[in-house]
Amino acid sequence: MKIALLGYGKMGQVIERIALERGHEIVLKKDEFNTYEGLSNADVAIDFSVPTAAVSNISNCFHANVPVISGTTGWLEHYDEMLALCAAKNGGFISSSNFSLGVNIFFELNEYLAKIMSKFDSYTVDMEEIHHTQKLDAPSGTAISLAKGVIENSSYTNWTLESPKANEIHIEAKRIGSVPGTHTVTYNSSVDAIEIKHTAHNREGFALGAVIAAEWIIGKQGVFTMKDVLNLE
């Protein structure tokens, strides 16, 4: 299939390699300075760019009738606008804070654990995410997804990077060296702690998941998630 890469940084380059290995063709590499020329020839677009470019990249795909896989984080306040545009244009759309198989399994574990822990008020939850120092957004999109997974299955109501009030989940965001992405969810009581953790060793898992999502969406219309792609429900 013909792929348009919207964003050709650390992720775009790994996605290119994996896509070529799987027999696909790259018809556009969009960065900050070039145009969308070539987008309308693509079967699918994969957006791993920057928070300020995601909305424009995704909108251009819908206007060009090209389904889009978006991994960019930090633009969630515009998510509903993109859903509406997708519906208006009969487009195809998958946005995920994390495309790796491992993290999507971790999301399921997190929700399962949250359901159990909601019965025991002697434990409080907190989260830590560690990423490389070039990361623009904090907390990570994955940490926000993990917090939502807890909120939907417990009496917690929101997350915060500050000192947490009752019913708030504290997220600590650390920026260290070239760490690709580590997420930990901890339930603490006065006597013990229960911890689940996902450690990405590199960016291959994120990139492979995005290419698999791109292969999966061809011929489909609507808004989907990685749960659909990976058959997790």
Ligand X SMILES: O=C(O)C1=N[C@H](C(=O)O)C[C@H](O)C1
Residues placed in the known binding site for NAD(+) = 71-73, 96-99
Binding of ligand X by 12 (CB under 6 A)? no
Interface residues for ligand X in 124-143 (CB under 6 A)? 131, 135, 140-142
Q: Which single residue brings its beta carbon nearest to ligand NDP?
A: 9
DSSP of the chain = -EEEEE--SHHHHHHHHHHHHTT-EEEEEE-SSS--TTGGG-SEEEE---HHHHHHHHHHHHHTT--EEE---S-GGGHHHHHHHHHHTT-EEEE-S---HHHHHHHHHHHHHHHHHTT-TT-EEEEEEEE-TT--SSS-HHHHHHHHHHHTTSS--EEESSS--TTEEEEEEEE-TT---EEEEEEE-SS-EEEEEEE-SSSHHHHHHHHHHHHHHTT--EEE-HHHHHT--
Nearer to ligand NDP, 3 or 6 (CB): 6
Q: Binders of ligand X among 139-168, rule CB under 6 A?
A: 140-142
Q: Annotated catalytic, 135? A: yes
Stretch that binds ligand NDP, among 4-12, 61-69, 191-199, 224-232 (CB under 6 A): 4-12
Asked whether position 72 contacts ligand X by CB under 6 A, the answer is: no
Asked if 159 touches ligand NDP (CB under 6 A), the answer is: no
Catalytic residues: 131, 135
Residues that bind ligand X (CB under 6 A): 73, 97-98, 131, 135, 140-142, 181
